Structure 1
């Protein structure tokens, strides 16, 4: 079972920052999960929300700001919003990077960057996983480069997620842990790897591990 730090090590340091990712690596994760949006100047930035208000001293929509503007915003804990390129450079193929496509128009640039890091920087496709709740974004990545491993996120209808995952040849399903039973995990594992999120407390961690899932995403990867 692989241990994946949620937005780096969200339970320890400001989510989706290089500091949080560095902490996750120190805690010995097998992978990190991050979120991306496309900013007004075209770059993919690593940030969860569609707006700046919750996590920064700024305000407004992430997609409406240029990278220069976003770099001037301070994330809680005196951190900066990183780009996807900066994160991949920092991780340097040391662990799995699960890139969740959050914002619209992220699929093409994510595909381009992944291809660049595999072709030019020695990355392995096995250390990349692109996930999303948004079907159109996953379909676009699949059409551009079917070597990029994909995962379908679901927190509602597992059956529907399975049907869609088969059409894009996804390698895994990311399922809300509250939806999982032993029977569901056994059934899903016939066709996919099962990665579950976001499991933070010790009793649920113990229960979910007993089901034999392939990976757990947690704010506290040190608890896994």
Structure 2
């Protein structure tokens, strides 16, 4: 059974990477939620995709140069707050697993520490998380910090590169763009024991084609289409 993974929550329905979008994804019965993290100027992990707040909010500036209190004053789509990663974890609360994409720099260690806190203090397990990134350096740091955290290598250009990184990192999964998949590279990934979760698949014809392959999860803005 291919798992339904909400992209930045349920981005097709509610503004991305907001608590409201994560709740919508849960309401649609997802198996997992993908979200993005940066470290802001005051040190907290915040859930946000871009490196600047310009596209998504009524403010301007680089996210790592703004404090949490400054970020909390901004509005996404005139309505929603930028959440912290802790707020996202508390809302999702083990109702599905969470794919934390390390988007910003220096995100590996604080993400590891927060995951460890939820595992040691709040009854979560490492199976509740996957940590992914396009940045190998952040994945290297994650692996060096904690070998129990499940890693996924993201790729927009090459499944072969994703597999190479996965081998080096002893990763759990590869997360390639769906257009890169072939019978051969799926077979290679499966032979090596990796899960395959693909992004970002929104059109019914693409979903049907992918579901004919032996993959594990589909990341979509419209998880109810899966």
TM range (shorter): over 0.9
Q: What value does the CA root-mean-square deviation take over the aligned residues?
A: 0.8
Q: Which residue in 2 is equivalent to 1:27?
A: 28
Residue pair 2:44, 2:84 contacting (<8 A) in 1 also: yes
Asked if 1 retains the 8 angstrom alpha-carbon contact of 2:159 and 2:181, the reply is no
Supply the distance in 2 between the matched residues of 1:169 and 1:72 (Cα, whole angstroms): 41
Structure 1 moving runs of 4+ over 3 Å: none
Structure 1 counterpart SS, 2:191: coil
2:99 equivalent in structure 1: 98
Residue deviations 1:89-139 (CA, integer Å, cap 9, x gap): 111111110000000010010000000001001111111000000000000
Q: Give the length in aligned residue pairs.
A: 224
Partner of 1:166: 167
| 2:225 aligned partner | 223
Counterpart of 2:216 (choices 210, 214, 217) is 214
| Unaligned runs of at least 5 residues, structure 2 | none
The separation in 2 between residues aligned to 1:183 and 1:64, in whole angstroms, is: 44
User: What is the CA–CA distance in structure 2 between the aligned matches of 1:159 and 1:215, rounded to whole Å?
Assistant: 19
Q: Structure 1: how far apart are the matches of 2:176 and 2:159? A: 8
Indicate conservation of the 8 Å contact 2:41/2:68, yes or no.
yes
Aligned equivalents of 1:79, 1:200: Cα separation in 2: 24
Q: What aligned pairs does 1:32-47 form with structure 2 within 5 A after superposition?
A: 32-47=33-48
1:77 positional shift: 4.8
Contact 2:162 2:176 in 1 (8 A): no
How many Å apart are 1:164 and its aligned residue? Answer: 1.5
For 1:160 and 1:203, locate their aligned partners in 2 and report how far apart those are by CA, in whole Å: 27
Aligned 8 A contact 1:14 1:77 in 2: no
Give the TM-score normalised by structure 1: 0.98
Unaligned runs of 5+ in 1: none
Contact preservation (8 Å) 1:101, 1:131: yes
Contact 1:181 1:211 in 2 (8 A): no
Residue matched to 1:190: 191
